[in-house]
């Protein structure tokens, strides 16, 4: 089916201080096609999207929309040119009503200014197309994140755009909501909209997309029709490594997982917090990665926060290395060398105006107290160690962390100080597999904890962070993946069995 090109990015280069985020990347979006943008963490996906939607200025290269060269000076510009974007983090006004959010800037006008009832009617129609039956006069903040995500998409449909950019729209949706979303995206495709879809879920790519562009380290590896790129090859294309080598890691990982006679590093029993989690139990052994899986709202994040003391547990007890421990605050948890990497990097992870160095040593300094400052040499040692082991690019410790890309700043956000147990909430949400796969063995285990909170299941990914300490065990949270993976030990790098 020959389809017309709606938007074309050619030879796009964007440089940040010291690093080329994009280096001569091409991207072609065709009408009536869903195009997946794939690549591991830091490959440049978000940067490319931001180049298309006018957030970043392009250093060199051309953007053509509808056959005409364009130069967007901002998102409003891009929107006017017919490019609608739905971001991973919902970008709506929580204090406005649902209808106002959907129709913002597109209100129906009557003789006396805005005709509110007609506006809300139009919003309702747009929402119903997505299968959402909600009162458009309710406040946006009264709805769950998933519903807000769908509302954001409804807003994009109202704009009648030629290009719809979906930046990880499914990361906070459950299965049925994803189905709902996909149905809408397909319908939009059939009306001739070009869709750019970014996700980390390989299943979803094969379910939905017609074409795949793969990025690696800021360069385009290639563009493939989905049918011609089997899943395993996609993974190795994204990673730039041979399949055989990845398979070898899989075997080793399973071998490590087999031994479980050791004393757990962290054990919690009936850990709970009123109105949040009704008692969850969990064991974490040395050298282990335990995933917490569950539907949205099942308490994955909440349990991770309790393990770290980010929220104070009001029931249950915890043991670290077999000895009772009170995990009542982040400070207490850090004292037991439990670290935490928040899913909300920007608001909970980094201190934006401080340098990468200051961010890296902050937790260690906080433990020592203000009166015992780390000397420059000690700081350098910590910074050097973590910059190398976590692969912070570019290695510029003096740089303000606010200017780092997402992938970099996430690595910087992590509390240093050779903690033993990174309790992570969703930092694995960036893509399948990562460089650390080759760095160390990681085991993925199936483990069952008590009901409400979570059924622990295998994580799809290995831990970047696990390389921090040889004895690190990791507890990480993942979105629900394919049903198979919860009953079966999978390798660390596959989304699901091929």
Partner 1 sequence: MIALRILRHRLFWPIVALVLLVAINTLSRPSFLSITIKHGALYGSSIDILRNSSQLMLVALGMTLVIATRGIDLSVGAVLAVAGAVSLTYIEASPEPGSVGTVTVAVALGLLVTLVLGAWNGFLVSVVRIQPIIATLLLMFAGRGIAMLITKGQITTVTSAPYAEFASGVILGLPVAFLIAVVVVAIVGLLVRRTALGVLMEAVGINPEASRLAGVQSRGIIWSVYAISGLLAGMAGILYSSNIMAADANNAGLNIEVDAILAVVIGGTSLAGGKFSIAGTVIGVLIIQTLTTSITFLGIPPAVTPVFKAVVVIVICLMQSRRVRGLLAVRRRPVAPSVPGTAAIDASAAVSK
Given a contact cutoff of 8 angstroms between Cβ atoms, the answer to whether 28 and 223 are in contact is: yes
Tokens, residue 397: 């410790």
String of contacts with partner 1 for each residue 385-404, x by CB under 8 A: ---------------x-xx-
Taking CB atoms within 8 Å and a gap of at least 24, the contacts of 216-219 are 216/39, 216/40, 216/43, 216/240, 217/42, 217/43, 217/44, 218/20, 218/21, 218/22, 218/23, 218/25, 218/43, 218/44, 218/47, 219/23, 219/24, 219/25, 219/44
Among 123, 334, 390, 407, binds partner 1 (CB under 8 A): 334
Contact residue for partner 1 among 3, 17, 230, 487 (CB under 8 A): 17
| Segment interacting with partner 1, rule: CB under 8 A, options 12-20, 38-46, 119-127, 149-157 | 12-20
Cα dihedral sign for 91, 96, 102, 108? Answer: negative
The only residue of 72, 340, 386, 427 in contact with partner 1, by rule CB under 8 A: 340
CA distances from 242 to 25, 147, 215, 237, 238 (A): 23, 40, 17, 9, 11
Helix (H, G, I), strand (E, B) or coil at 182: helix
Interacting residues with partner 1 between 300 and 319 (CB under 8 A): 308, 310
Asked whether position 370 contacts partner 1 by CB under 8 A, the answer is yes
CA distances from 146 to 34, 49, 89, 256, 379 (A): 22, 22, 11, 37, 42
Of 119-127, 145-153, 351-359, 464-472: span binding partner 1 (CB under 8 A): 351-359
Tokens of 170: 């499914």
Q: Name the pairing type of β-strands 194-198 and 34-38.
A: parallel
Considering only 4, 18, 80, 110, the residue that binds partner 1 (CB under 8 A) is: 18
Binding mask 249-288 for partner 1 (x = CB under 8 A): ----------------------------------------
Out of 236, 367, 389, 393, the residue judged to bind partner 1 by CB under 8 A: 367
Asked if 53 is part of the footprint of partner 1 (rule: CB under 8 A), the reply reads no
DSSP alpha helix (H) spans, 114-242? 116-129, 145-158, 175-190, 202-208, 231-239
Alpha-carbon gap, residue 292 to 343, rounded angstroms: 13
Task: Kindly state whether residue 413 participates in binding partner 1, applying the rule CB under 8 A.
Answer: yes
Strand 443-445 relative to strand 288-293, pairing:
parallel
CA 389/CA 417 separation, integer angstroms: 13
In the bound complex, what is the minimum distance in angstroms from residue 424's beta carbon to partner 1?
12
Task: By CB under 8 A, tell whether 354 contacts partner 1.
Answer: yes
Nearer to partner 1, 86 or 415 (CB): 415
Q: Kindly tell me which residue out of 28, 96, 278, 366 binds partner 1, with binding defined by CB under 8 A.
A: 366
- Cα-only R_g, the chain: 23
Report if residue 24 touches partner 1, rule: CB under 8 A. no
Span interacting with partner 1, options 184-192, 283-291, 356-364, 433-441, rule CB under 8 A? 356-364
Alpha-carbon gap, residue 453 to 464, rounded angstroms: 25
| Among positions 227, 371, 376, 377, the unique one binding partner 1 when judged by CB under 8 A | 371
Among 53, 365, 426, 459, binds partner 1 (CB under 8 A): 365
What are phi and psi for residue 225, nearest 5 degrees? -70, 140
Nearest CB to partner 1, comparing residues 18 and 69: 18
Q: Is 422 near partner 1 (CB under 8 A)?
A: no
Nearer to partner 1, 295 or 374 (CB): 374
Backbone angles phi, psi at 166, to 5 degrees: -115, 105
- Smallest gap from residue 8 Cβ to partner 1 (A): 23
Question: Nearer to partner 1 by C-beta: 140 or 339?
Answer: 339
Distances (CA, A) of 315 to 258, 268, 273, 361, 497: 32, 10, 6, 32, 38
Residue 386 Cβ, how far from partner 1 at the closest point, in Å? Answer: 14
Q: What's the min distance (Å) between Cβ of 416 and partner 1?
A: 9
Residues 6+ apart with CB under 8 A from 427: 341, 342, 343, 345, 410, 464, 465, 476
Stretch that binds partner 1, among 36-44, 75-83, 275-283, 360-368 (CB under 8 A): 360-368
Q: Binding of partner 1 at residue 56 (CB under 8 A)?
A: yes
- Among 36, 362, 432, 453, which residue interacts with partner 1 (rule: CB under 8 A)? 362
* 381 binds partner 1, rule: CB under 8 A: no
- Give the one residue of 241, 317, 321, 368 binding partner 1; rule: CB under 8 A: 368
With contacts defined by CB under 8 A, name the span among 13-21, 80-88, 381-389, 443-451 that binds partner 1.
13-21
Identify which of residues 400 and 496 has a Cβ nearer to partner 1 in the complex.
Answer: 400
Instruction: Quote the CA–CA distance of 125 and 119 in Å, as a whole number.
Output: 10
Gap between the Cα atoms of 207 and 190, Å rounded: 16
Planar angle of CA 178, 184, 185, nearest 5 degrees: 85
Which residue, 94 or 448, is less far from partner 1 as judged by CB? 94
Q: Which residues bind partner 1 (CB under 8 A)?
A: 14-18, 56-57, 59, 308, 310, 330-331, 334, 340, 342, 347-354, 358, 362-363, 365-374, 400, 402-403, 413, 415
């Amino acid at each position: 089916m020959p389809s017309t090109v709606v938007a074309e990015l050619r030879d796009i280069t964007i440089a940040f201080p010291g690093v080329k985020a994009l280096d001569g990347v091409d991207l072609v979006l065709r009408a009536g096609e869903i195009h997946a943008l794939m690549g591991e963490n830091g490959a440049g996906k978000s940067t490319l999207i931001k180049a298309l939607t006018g957030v970043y200025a392009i250093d060199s290269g051309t953007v053509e929309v509808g056959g005409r060269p364009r130069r967007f000076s901002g998102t409003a510009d891009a929107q006017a040119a017919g490019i609608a974007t739905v971001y991973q983090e919902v970008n709506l006004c929580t204090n406005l009503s649902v209808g106002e959010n959907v129709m913002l800037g597109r209100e129906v006008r009557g003789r006396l200014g805005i005709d509110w009832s007609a506006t809300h009617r139009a919003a309702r129609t747009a929402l119903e197309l997505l299968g959402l039956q909600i009162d458009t006069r309710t406040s946006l903040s009264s709805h769950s994140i998933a519903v807000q995500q769908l509302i954001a998409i409804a807003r994009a449909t109202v704009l009648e755009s030629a290009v719809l950019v979906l930046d990880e729209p499914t990361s906070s949706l459950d299965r049925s909501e994803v189905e709902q979303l996909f149905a809408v995206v397909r319908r939009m495709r059939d009306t001739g909209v070009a869709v750019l879809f970014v996700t980390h879920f390989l299943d979803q790519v094969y379910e939905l997309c017609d074409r795949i562009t793969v990025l690696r380290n800021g360069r385009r590896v290639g563009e493939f029709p989905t049918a011609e790129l089997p899943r395993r090859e996609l993974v190795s294309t994204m990673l730039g490594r041979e399949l055989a080598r990845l398979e070898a890691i899989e075997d080793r990982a399973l071998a490590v997982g087999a031994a479980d006679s050791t004393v757990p590093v962290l054990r919690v029993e009936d850990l709970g917090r009123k109105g949040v989690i009704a008692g969850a139990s969990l064991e974490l052994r040395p050298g282990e990665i335990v995933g917490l899986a569950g539907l949205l709202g099942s308490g994955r994040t909440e349990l991770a926060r309790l393990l770290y003391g980010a929220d104070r547990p009001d029931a249950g007890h915890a043991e670290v290395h077999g000895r009772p421990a009170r995990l009542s605050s982040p400070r207490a948890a850090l004292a037991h060398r439990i670290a935490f990497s928040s899913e909300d990097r920007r608001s909970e992870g980094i201190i934006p105006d401080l340098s990468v160095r200051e961010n890296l040593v902050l937790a260690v300094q906080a433990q020592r107290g203000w009166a015992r400052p780390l000397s420059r040499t000690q700081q350098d040692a910590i910074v050097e160690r973590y910059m190398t082991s976590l692969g912070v690019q570019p290695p510029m410790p003096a740089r303000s962390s606010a200017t780092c890309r997402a992938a970099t700043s996430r690595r910087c956000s992590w509390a240093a100080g050779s903690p033993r147990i990174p309790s992570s909430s969703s930092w694995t949400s960036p893509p399948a597999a990562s460089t650390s796969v080759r760095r160390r063995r990681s085991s993925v285990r199936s483990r069952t904890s008590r009901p409400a909170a979570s059924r622990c299941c295998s994580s799809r990914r290995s831990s970047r962070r696990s390389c921090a300490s040889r004895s690190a065990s990791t507890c990480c949270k993942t979105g629900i993946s394919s049903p198979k993976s919860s009953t079966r030990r999978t390798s660390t790098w596959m989304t699901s069995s091929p």
